[in-house]
Chain A
Amino acid sequence: MPVESASELKRKDVVGIAPLEPAEIQLILDTAEELLEVARRPIKKVPVLRGATVVNLFMEPSTRTRFSFEMAEKRLSADTLNFSASTSSVSKGETLVDTARNLMAMAPDYIVIRHPNVGAPHRLAEVVPASIINAGDGINEHPTQALLDAFTMRQHFGRLEGLNVVIAGDIRHSRVARSNAFLLNKMGASLRFAAPASLLPAGVEELGAETFLRLEPALEGADVVMMLRIQRERQAAVNFPSAREYYDFFALTEERLALAAPHAVVMHPGPMNRGVEIDSAVADGARSLILDQVTNGVAIRMAILYLLAGGRGAATADS
């Protein structure tokens, strides 16, 4: 049974997928679908957030997520301010809570935050009146990524429930895997993880996935194969031997993709390590939805900004 859509998002913040109800996820996806239309207009802008201020607080390097949020904010006519780790006072030893209190003096309506520390958005949400949107907190959650992934799957297959989704790679350090797991479980998809045990978290069953220690058996009958970036910058050298060996056993190649369902599609949250976790032939192949994910990311972020505003006017209204 498809999940019914909620009529509104009854919350101040989107700090993760974990707290969201299935009906709220459905609402975000439905709203994003309507907002996707804005990108096809000659003037790609609607005035629904005119006069609203959004602070983009990026305490960890990010290009695509930051650009995607900024584009979403601009398409909704919001005013945006960008803070990043290199320019902010956080590097001078200010606590996050202090930074937030200072920002509040500027009375923003939204704070989009990416932070290396797990729970930073949650704590911010408790101390400031602005709406907090989590753009990735440490290894915990990346809710907008999971929503755009789900949107992309739904767009392609027309549904989420019953889909067989494989997520492969560094599950233990991946907020994308975690947010996707929470979301896909709530929406009735069936989830598999494929990774060596050194890249799986303790108590992985808590994430509601069937676990495979090799990629090949996980791929059988898969509708969606999502490859995760092997985050070499966060990896101690003990978690897997080398990029070369990783490619040998765990990369998605055309041969391995042939083990999935004939109609299977390939996704990747980016940025990709070509030749490590994914072969270029697959990444750029006909079954890749990787660029759709990027396009859909803007619509998802517009939907969240819009819904948190309490729905000022119809989503597609242009005046």
Chain B
Amino acid sequence: MRRLLIRNGRVVDPSQGLDQGMDVLLEDGKVARIGERIRVKAETPVLDAAKLVVAPGFIDLNAHLCEPGYEHRETIASGCRAAVAGGFTAVCCCADTKPVNDEPSVTAFILERARDAALARVYPVGAVSHGLAGTELAEIGEMVRAGAVAVGDPGPVANALLMRRALEYARSFGIPVASHAENVSLSDGGLMHEGVVSTRIGLRGMPAAAEEVVVARDLMLARLTSGRLHLRHLSTAGSLELVRAAKAEGLAVTCEVAPHHFSLTDEDLAGATYNSDWKVNPPLRSADHLEAVKQALYDGTVDAIASDHTPQHRDDKELDFSEAPSGAVGLETAVSLAVDRLVHGKVIGIGRLVRLFSIGPAQAFGLPGGTLRPGSPADVTILDLRRRVTVDPKSFRSRSRNTPFAGIKLRGAPVVTIVGGRIAWRAEG
């Protein structure tokens, strides 16, 4: 029997309505018991979690792990190292690999690589369209059989009929369809959020409406099809208002937001001299949208915080702002940003934060975990809410360093990540 006792922690588990000092006993890869003063044999290893928050393992719904095909940016192994160092016990990886994860052999390859890495759990998200071309459905059923937990093209799906059919077809396999909501013709080559700041600094803007019209479309398709819809990285007040109304109506919709959308605005981008590390898609929005994201986190409209971890090679990010690819790495900063900006920033409490990283994402994609109920996977994230960290890209486990957060100081960080009952990562010092 392989055991680990986590002693004296503040157990925060929204799936059971728990927030109190307790012990957690892990046994053979499962949560065995949770309770006060659990007694174990002398030889059982004990982890002292006094003054720390003990939470169900954090799950990231949206990370680009880039393998196969783009190993110069990230590999599944490096991505998993980054994940556990960021407090994540599980990562859902996007289909924009080469070859595209649109058929079962690629899905199986990703899972095999993840087994070799043996750090975080990896859940592949298959493509919704063959080759991400947006014209034909990918082999959704085959991929689910191989281990895919959801489908969705990482970029926009312009073809509304394909989206409709995907929502319908995926019902047979009980998985959600994830949507990157963006109308590319409305984006019109935009490089940042369209508004007074884009006009001031002269970069082409993409309007909030480019996201919102597709959110509206997809919600109507979810209603039409009774399919399960998951909306990725929502960033505008209008999108979140639409989701709020759809949830009130009872549609099967979930959504995520990314940490940069509650941490940075287009004004921050303007202060960065056209540095493409601030170029993300959806773009950094104006302050009113950022406030709307916080409000939606507070009122429960948002189901999950997802990193939208998008590694890009330095050579590509050195290109001019208009030519550089979008994206920022996020696995190693997401949790600290959320604790610092949302909990210490008095937007939400620790219970809501844990929900957004655990049971929220687990339910969105129907994943095991997200809870410390006995019998659940022994995945645990331990946080120190007081720990002060400075974001240092040089220390990232990720192969890429593209982040707009370099050098910023944050309060709150993961300190231990346990996957399947084994300590996968532990903070130094």
Contacts and interface: CB of A to CB of B under 8 A. Distances in A.
B136 interface: no
| Chain B facing A: main interface SS | loop
Contact of B318 (A97, A137, A204): A97
B194 A202 contact: yes
A117 B322 contact: yes
Interface string B201-225: 1111101000000000000000000
Contacts of B320: 95-96, 115, 117-120, 123
Nearest to A201: B199
B298 to A, nearest CB: 28
Contacts of A178: 202
A126 interface: yes
B268 to A, nearest CB: 15
A56 B323 CA distance: 22
A119 B273 contact: yes
Interface residues of B, number: 25
Interface residues of A, number: 28
Contacts of A207: 199-200
A141 interface: yes
B273 A123 contact: yes
Closest 4 CB pairs of A and B: A119-B274, A140-B202, A203-B196, A117-B320
Interface of B: 188, 191, 194-205, 207, 273-275, 315, 318-323
B202 A203 contact: no
Contacts, number: 77
A123 B196 CA distance: 22
A36 to B, nearest CB: 30
Residue among A97, A126, A203, A207 with the highest chain B CB neighbour number at 10 A: A203
Interface string A134-154: 000111110000000000000
Nearest to A120: B320
A206 interface: yes
B21 to A, nearest CB: 51
A314 interface: no
A116 B323 CA distance: 10
A1 interface: no
A281 B202 CA distance: 33
Given A96-B320, A119-B202, A122-B274, 11 more contacts: A18-B200, A95-B315, A117-B321, A119-B201, A119-B320, A119-B321, A123-B273, A138-B202, A202-B195, A204-B199, A207-B200
17 contacts: A18-B200, A96-B319, A116-B322, A117-B320, A118-B191, A118-B321, A119-B274, A119-B320, A120-B274, A120-B320, A122-B273, A137-B202, A202-B196, A202-B198, A203-B195, A203-B199, A207-B199
B266 to A, nearest CB: 11
Contacts of B200: 18, 203, 206-207
Interface string A54-77: 000000000000000000000000
